[in-house]
Amino acid sequence: MTAARYDVLGIGNAIVDVLARTDDDFLLRQNMRKGAMTLIDEDRATTIYEAMGPAIEISGGSAANTIVGCASLGGRTAFVGKIKDDELGRVFAHDIRAAGVAFDTPPAFDGPSTARCYVLVSPDGERTMNTYLGAAQDLHPRDIDPDAIAASAITYLEGYLWDPKHAKDAFLKAAAAAHEAKRLVALTLSDAFCVDRWRDEFLGLVRDGTVDLLFANEAELHSLYQTADFDTALTALRREARLAVGTRSENGCVVVSREAVLAVPAAPVERVVDTTGAGDLFAAGFLYGLSQGAGHERAASLGALAAAEVIQHLGARPETSLKALAQERGLAK
Amino acid sequence: MTAARYDVLGIGNAIVDVLARTDDDFLLRQNMRKGAMTLIDEDRATTIYEAMGPAIEISGGSAANTIVGCASLGGRTAFVGKIKDDELGRVFAHDIRAAGVAFDTPPAFDGPSTARCYVLVSPDGERTMNTYLGAAQDLHPRDIDPDAIAASAITYLEGYLWDPKHAKDAFLKAAAAAHEAKRLVALTLSDAFCVDRWRDEFLGLVRDGTVDLLFANEAELHSLYQTADFDTALTALRREARLAVGTRSENGCVVVSREAVLAVPAAPVERVVDTTGAGDLFAAGFLYGLSQGAGHERAASLGALAAAEVIQHLGARPETSLKALAQERGLAK
């Protein structure tokens, strides 16, 4: 195994977020599940956009946010995801490259437009997401470069990849290439309803060792093990996963390995503005920490720090250097 | 004169802002004048975009921001400006309509793309703007509906309209229609370098009564009267303008009429994040106040309040209801 060229390579849906503040009545009227991610078609996208208030556009996508977070911490990173060659596609490509991330996936020149996620942010900071997958659906196994995967210490995948038709195969090709090169494969479960859709397959990935490291929040773990009890889910997870992190919002996280169950507190937050990207940025800190040889506690603290930064402003990408923040807190050199 | 259908109708360049934080070294390296608005061509736009950091897209445009501010205060408003029928054009149209503004200017179906302003925000909150006018250049006199102008208590124009070729004629057609209907015409000088380009024509508009109400900041007044002394400029302005407001950032503003010179303080601000839109939102409050029959002092206080809101976050559009803010401060019912 040669030295890694990338600390973390992420594969996910390449999405531009369209964010607007809302009240909870709007969610009710639009029949939206508060806090969830719902897949929508182009007609529904048009209906939602026409009904929602003035918005701002910020690049998003779960794994993409994570990778930008890793880069902001100082990591060497790459991202794989499908945009179309249109205005929002160029916005996505600009933003991720400007963050220092290698992004070489060829864009689609025809077919549906670049994916958009209509994010409604409630007064309490909770976000409700409606995703039109568009061009992201066209991520194919041929977009996976096994050499890039082999050159990455960790390959990180989002559970949302299970939704587009060919992305699942791209996911499996990447995981195989990573393991072939004796690298780590990490997965986030993404969303409780995504777990509802793909529960058995996700459990299979954990059980058969396709995934070395699993990220999940409480709702996702409850859905994965079909239990309302967090400790029951955690016990099951500990039996099945090599390494996993259960995130619990303001209650911090629990790192679960065969050796230990380690609770790490959340980082202090002055005011929650928008929770979009909280889980993505937690993963960024944890993955970056692992890639630098940090122990689980420091890696989880880096995750908590990155998550705390992103929920204090609109959008799911860090607004400040996470490396500088981590240095201030003594979590990085 | 029948009752007005709109309190304020604005005419301006329809622009989407592409905002990124920057350091002042970047401005130096890119040879940008800090704090100014510079017109750029498409090649330069590409160069700047490639060099700048991760950005967010928010609808902008000086008069458009003002009109959205008036709407947020509870005013009945309309906007006239030219977009292309492209993705960013649809973003602009969505955002202004979602703010409650009537926007009926037909988009261009060919020619250059929707205007973009690359806004670099320095750590001290100062913004430096680079505008690619694109489709905004195609605002023609035929886009001006004299009936809509006649039905608006105030028609508000931005000095930037003097830059695109046909927009000046649209401006003059609108001003004539407003005066024909015995309505008010207001103008903002927009930017000191814009005044450098069009000084004599702007002075002519004030002197011949085409403009009833003039907004200008200190730098613009210095440029207009080619003096480094604010009081000298103010004295000249008082001789020539029916009504004018000189804005002085944290030092508040001075309302100048034949009868009096009235100083009104700025509203308190916790932290300046981004000064983009400060002048636009001051004008929003003042115009809305005037349209509701407020005196100059309360109108200026409404302007100060709206400006204070917009400089405490990224972007030039209010993030909260200005009407609710004004009610809290006892400035509106």
B284-322 pLDDT, tens digit each: 999 999 999 999 999 999 999 999 999 999 999 999 999
Q: Please indicate whether, in this complex, the C-beta atoms of B86 and A91 are within 8 angstroms of each other.
A: no
Comparing CB atoms, the residue among B21, B52, B91 nearest residue A57 is: B91
Burial class (CB in 10 A: 0-12, 13-18, 19+), A282: buried
Within chain A, residue ranges assigned H as helices are 24-29, 42-51, 62-72, 87-98, 146-150, 167-180, 192-207, 218-224, 230-240, 278-291, 296-310, 322-328
Count H helices and E strands in chain B, helices first: 12, 14
A281-332 pLDDT, tens digit each: 999 999 999 999 999 999 999 999 999 999 999 999 999 999 999 999 999 9
Taking the CA of residue A294 and the nearest CA in chain B, the distance in Å comes to 28
DSSP 3-state assignment of B184?
A: strand
Average of per-residue pLDDT across B157-183: 96
DSSP label of A65: H
Taking an 8 Å Cβ-Cβ cutoff, which residues of chain B contact chain A? 20-21, 49-50, 52-59, 68, 86-88, 91, 94-96, 98-99, 113, 315, 317, 319
A130-143 pLDDT, tens digit each: 999 999 999 999 99
B189-240 pLDDT, tens digit each: 999 999 999 999 999 999 999 999 999 999 999 999 999 999 999 999 999 9
DSSP label of A276: T
Q: So what's the pLDDT on residue A3?
A: 82
What is the average pLDDT value for chain B, to the nearest integer? 96
> Residue B243 falls within a domain, yes or no?
yes
Taking the CA of residue B38 and the nearest CA in chain A, the distance in Å comes to 22
For residue A1, pLDDT over 80 is answered with no
Question: What is the pLDDT confidence band of residue B1, given thresholds at 50, 70 and 90?
Answer: low
Amino acid at A174: A
Q: So what's the pLDDT on residue B2?
A: 72
Task: Go through A186-204 and write b for each residue having 16 or more CB atoms within 10 A of its CB, e for each that does not.
Answer: bbbbbbbbbbeebeeebee
**Which residues of chain B have a CB within 8 Å of the CB of A59?**
54
Alpha carbon of residue A167 to chain centroid: 15
Q: Please indicate whether, in this complex, the C-beta atoms of A50 and B95 are within 8 angstroms of each other.
A: no
Task: Go through A150-177 and write b for each residue having 16 or more CB atoms within 10 A of its CB, e for each that does not.
Answer: bbbbbbbbbbbbbbbebbbebbbbbbeb
B136-157 pLDDT, tens digit each: 999 999 999 999 999 999 999 9
Put residue A271 in one of left, alpha, beta given phi > 0 → left and psi -120 to 50 → alpha.
beta
Average of per-residue pLDDT across B100-109: 98
Residue (of A97, A263, A240, A56) closest to B50 by Cα position: A97
Comparing CB atoms, the residue among A54, A59, A96 nearest residue B99 is: A54
> Residue B32 falls within a domain, yes or no?
no
> Residue A31 falls within a domain, yes or no?
no
Alpha carbon of residue A304 to chain centroid: 14
For residue B45, pLDDT over 80 is answered with yes
Taking the CA of residue B244 and the nearest CA in chain A, the distance in Å comes to 31
| CATH, residue B233 | 3.40.1190.20
> Residue B302 falls within a domain, yes or no?
yes
**Which residues of chain A have a CB within 8 Å of the CB of B91?**
55, 57
Average of per-residue pLDDT across A88-110: 98
DSSP 3-state assignment of B41?
A: coil
Q: Please indicate whether, in this complex, the C-beta atoms of B98 and A54 are within 8 angstroms of each other.
A: yes
Distance set, CA B106 to CA A59, B84, B252 (Å): 29, 9, 38
> Residue A310 falls within a domain, yes or no?
yes
What is the rounded distance in angstroms from the CA atom of residue A86 to the CA atom of residue B86?
Answer: 10
Q: Please indicate whether, in this complex, the C-beta atoms of B53 and A91 are within 8 angstroms of each other.
A: no
Task: Give the list of residues 6+ apart from residue A145 with CB closer than 8 angstroms, or none.
Answer: A80, A104
Amino acid at A278: A
Give the largest Cα separation in chain B, rounded: 55
Comparing CB atoms, the residue among A21, A87, A94 nearest residue B87 is: A87
Q: Which two structure tokens, joined as six digits, stand for A320?
A: 């400040």
Q: Please indicate whether, in this complex, the C-beta atoms of A53 and B98 are within 8 angstroms of each other.
A: yes
What is the rounded distance in angstroms from the CA atom of residue A28 to the CA atom of residue B114?
Answer: 34
Domain total in chain A: 1
Q: So what's the pLDDT on residue A2?
A: 72
Q: So what's the pLDDT on residue A204?
A: 97
Taking the CA of residue B56 and the nearest CA in chain A, the distance in Å comes to 5
Q: Which two structure tokens, joined as six digits, stand for A157?
A: 């995948």
- The residue range of the domain holding B92 is 6-12+62-103+135-328
Residue (of A281, A59, A316, A12) closest to A156 by Cα position: A12
> Residue A18 falls within a domain, yes or no?
no
Q: Please indicate whether, in this complex, the C-beta atoms of B56 and A99 are within 8 angstroms of each other.
A: no
Residue in chain A closest to B50 (alpha carbons) equals: A94
Taking the CA of residue A102 and the nearest CA in chain B, the distance in Å comes to 14
Comparing CB atoms, the residue among A55, A94, A315 nearest residue B49 is: A94
Q: Which two structure tokens, joined as six digits, stand for A260?
A: 């230990």
Q: Please indicate whether, in this complex, the C-beta atoms of B54 and A87 are within 8 angstroms of each other.
A: no
Put residue B35 in one of left, alpha, beta given phi > 0 → left and psi -120 to 50 → alpha.
left
Are residues B97 and B59 in contact, defined by beta-carbon separation less than 8 angstroms?
no
Comparing CB atoms, the residue among A59, A86, A317 nearest residue B87 is: A86
**Which residues of chain A have a CB within 8 Å of the CB of B59?**
54
**Which residues of chain B have a CB within 8 Å of the CB of A123?**
none
A247-275 pLDDT, tens digit each: 999 999 999 998 899 999 999 999 999 99
What is the rounded distance in angstroms from the CA atom of residue A144 to the CA atom of residue A170?
Answer: 6
Q: Which two structure tokens, joined as six digits, stand for A321?
A: 């250097």
DSSP label of B166: T
Q: So what's the pLDDT on residue B12?
A: 98
Question: What is the pLDDT confidence band of residue B333, given thresholds at 50, 70 and 90?
Answer: confident
What is the average pLDDT value for chain A, to the nearest integer? 96
**Which residues of chain A have a CB within 8 Å of the CB of B65?**
none
What is the rounded distance in angstroms from the CA atom of residue A135 to the CA atom of residue A131?
Answer: 12
For residue B162, pLDDT over 90 is answered with yes
Comparing CB atoms, the residue among A50, A54, A98 nearest residue B54 is: A98
Burial class (CB in 10 A: 0-12, 13-18, 19+), A242: middle
Taking an 8 Å Cβ-Cβ cutoff, which residues of chain A contact chain B? 20-21, 49-50, 52-59, 68, 86-88, 91, 94-96, 98-99, 113, 315, 317, 319
Give the residue carrying structure tokens 């479960």.
Answer: A189
Q: Torsion angle, CA of B92/A29/B72/B9, rounded to 10 degrees?
A: 50
Taking the CA of residue A253 and the nearest CA in chain B, the distance in Å comes to 29
> Residue B34 falls within a domain, yes or no?
no
A144-200 pLDDT, tens digit each: 999 999 999 999 999 999 999 899 999 999 999 999 999 999 999 999 999 999 999
DSSP label of B292: T
Q: Please indicate whether, in this complex, the C-beta atoms of A50 and B99 are within 8 angstroms of each other.
A: no
Q: So what's the pLDDT on residue B137?
A: 92
What is the rounded distance in angstroms from the CA atom of residue B326 to the CA atom of residue A132?
Answer: 38
Give the largest Cα separation in chain A, rounded: 55
